[in-house]
Amino acid sequence: MSASEGAVSNAGGRLEKLTDWIEARLTEDYAPPEVLQHAPELSVPDAYRVQAAYMARRVAAGDAIAGYKAALTSKAMQEREGFDEPILGTLLTSRRLPANAPVSLGRYLRATLEPEVAVLLKSALVGPGVTAAQALAAVECYLPAVEIGDIRTGDNARSLQQTIVCNTFNGGYVLGGEGVTPAGIDLRYEGMVLEVNGEVAGSATAVEVLGDPINSVAFMANKLGEIGLVLQPGMVLLTGSIVASVRLHPGDEVRVGFTRLGAVQVHCAE
């Protein structure tokens, strides 16, 4: 074995052990400790490899990858979390929640909600090098969506690597509407109003998502390309929260309405 082959082997073994560690932590009923305390040398690219390895285990256990999600795509969310770049997470089929059905908050440590534009792909996107124009050409339709976050972390600041290996704390997602073709729609001007218990909790246009949610689609394709993965036809993509997330409590009634994409509603149960 050459020195370079040995280095690759050692790195693979280290990441496999780290995947074992994070898999065990994510099945516990309390927040996992900061990953950089356990593996201080972990880089951001390797954090994505750990996330992908953990998701591959979920698929081997009978789940499926439904698509991907972007996080920290708005200035509001970046400022809240103290980061200055978007990140990528994975959507599992098992985490999709039915529309108009109660969402049980008892399964989450700290539940939050983010209003997003969802994208359904009709063709593959292979990064790196995907442009916004190529991303738009791959879109089948847009859907209104919300992501339910399961914030498994303490009150202290967390690293970017921690957020990535914990799959950006995705707890679930709900898709609404019937799908709107992208023809004639400029998402930058798509308005959104978030209401919680009849009160407006946030409003903005989707320009807050990296200047255009289509830029988020290109970002996901290119980030996946860095670790050898591809956005496939039929995948659902959550492009990122348009406003800062809100904390959810049992009994909350949430409605996210868009100008042309329709609406999605969530009832929060115990």
pLDDT value, residue 117:
98
- CATH code that applies to domain 64-269: 3.90.850.10
In tens, the pLDDT along 129-153 reads 999 999 999 999 999 999 999 987 7
Do 42 and 36 touch, CB atoms closer than 8 A?
A: yes
The domain spans of the chain are: 64-269
In tens, the pLDDT along 22-45 reads 999 888 777 788 899 999 999 999
Output 22-28 pairs: Cβ under 8 A, ≥24 positions apart: 22/50, 22/54, 22/165, 22/166, 23/54, 23/57, 26/54, 26/152, 26/166, 26/167
Is the pLDDT assigned to residue 105 strictly greater than 80?
yes
In tens, the pLDDT along 219-258 reads 999 999 999 999 999 999 999 999 999 999 999 999 999 9
Is the pLDDT assigned to residue 2 strictly greater than 50?
no
pLDDT value, residue 5:
31
pLDDT value, residue 33:
86
Residue 82 banded pLDDT, cuts 50, 70, 90? confident
Do 39 and 18 touch, CB atoms closer than 8 A?
A: yes
pLDDT value, residue 101:
87
Out of 103-107, 129-133, 185-189, which region has the weakest mean confidence (pLDDT)?
103-107
pLDDT value, residue 83:
80
Residue 11 banded pLDDT, cuts 50, 70, 90? low
